[in-house]
């Protein structure tokens, strides 16, 4: 039973806000690529005027340090960029599921609440961020639901009095005034 409830809250969607996540990954990788290019170019130009002895194919050769490090520098930057890409993808998806997922639930639930469904309860996974915020929204919804019931009860009593035989004007006016005051106490509007 407990296993079923855990499974029902498991997210099956990898991308929550697909365009945002793709954009974030692309921008992060472009920043990393730019940093690596700048570092590589600086290292290359700063090492142009130095000479390095290299041993290649059983021969000792003298070359500028820039020529000697160019190939290893490009290979190192490519490996770092690929590793950074995978790390960025993982972190973007992980963070979006911890924050973006709850925000998606909030948006969906708040839309329902705005449409008048005061029975909505936001349920998040235990490890999701913003769990306290979800609890506060749930408390707010419960409070609004109680206040709406109070108004509905007063309207029902007023309706019953109107339909009852012998309904008198002043008594009905007092009930309408009480309902009016209750509505303004419960729902503070401008």
Tens of each residue's pLDDT in the chain, 190 residues = 445 444 455 555 555 667 777 788 888 888 888 888 898 888 888 888 888 888 877 888 888 888 888 888 889 888 988 898 888 888 877 776 777 778 888 888 989 888 888 888 888 877 777 888 888 999 999 988 888 888 888 888 877 877 777 766 677 777 777 777 777 776 665 4
Q: How far apart are CA 181 and CA 145, in angstroms?
A: 18
**Strand segments (E) across the chain:** 51-56, 59-64
- 60 φ/ψ angles, rounded to the nearest 5 degrees: -90, 130
179: CB partners within 8 A, 6+ apart: 151, 154, 155, 158
| Res 174: pLDDT | 77
The residues facing 56 across adjacent strands are 59
Q: What is the sign, positive or negative, of the torsion defined by CA atoms of 138, 142, 148, 152? A: positive
* Dihedral of the alpha carbons of 172, 178, 180, 184, in degrees to the nearest 10: 180
- Asked if residues 100 and 17 have their Cβ atoms less than 8 Å apart, the reply is yes
Q: Please report the pLDDT score of residue 1 as a whole number.
A: 45
Provide CB contacts within 8 A for 13, sequence distance 6+: none
Specify the pLDDT at position 14: 55
């Amino acid at each position: 039973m407990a296993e079923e409830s855990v499974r029902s809250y498991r997210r099956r969607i990898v991308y929550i806000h697909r365009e945002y996540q793709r954009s974030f990954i692309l921008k992060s990788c472009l920043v990393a690529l730019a940093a690596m290019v700048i570092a590589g170019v600086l290292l290359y130009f700063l090492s142009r005027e130095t000479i390095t002895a290299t041993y290649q194919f059983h021969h000792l050769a003298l070359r500028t340090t820039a020529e000697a490090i160019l190939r290893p520098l490009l290979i190192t930057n490519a490996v770092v960029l690929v590793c950074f890409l995978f790390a960025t993808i993982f972190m973007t998806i992980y963070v979006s599921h911890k924050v973006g997922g709850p925000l998606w639930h909030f948006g969906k639930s708040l839309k329902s609440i705005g449409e008048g469904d005061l029975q909505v309860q936001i349920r998040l996974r235990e490890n999701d961020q913003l769990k306290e915020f979800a609890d506060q929204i749930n408390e707010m919804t419960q409070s609004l639901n109680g206040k709406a019931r109070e108004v509905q009860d007063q309207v029902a009593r007023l309706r019953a009095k109107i339909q009852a035989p012998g309904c008198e004007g002043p008594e009905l006016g007092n009930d309408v005034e009480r309902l009016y005051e209750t509505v303004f106490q419960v729902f503070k509007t401008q």
